[in-house]
Amino acid sequence: MKDAQDSLASSCSRNAHDKNVLVRRAQSRIDQAILENENGKTRAVEDHSVPIPKEVTSKLGGNY
């Protein structure tokens, strides 16, 4: 029973870590886009290889 509990805790911890990484990467992409926009640069092609998590886009109030 303890092995199952340890496995579940490890899985939950890994999922939380992975989610945090995705949110940080998305925030980094947003910050970079803002800086480029402020500097008069625009992106010709958006990089959608890593989708922005819904938790981030819902806070921004738009579709990304």
| pLDDT digits 0-9 by tens, 12-59 | 888 888 888 999 999 999 998 888 888 876 554 555 566 667 777 676
Question: Could you give the CA distance from residue 16 to residue 22 in angstroms, rounded to a whole number?
Answer: 10
| 31 SS3 class | helix
Question: Could you give the CA distance from residue 23 to residue 32 in angstroms, rounded to a whole number?
Answer: 14
For the entire predicted model, the pTM comes to 0.47
Domain with 51 in it = 2-60
- Total residues found in the chain within this entry: 64
DSSP 49: S
The count of domains in the chain is: 1
Question: Could you give the CA distance from residue 21 to residue 27 in angstroms, rounded to a whole number?
Answer: 10
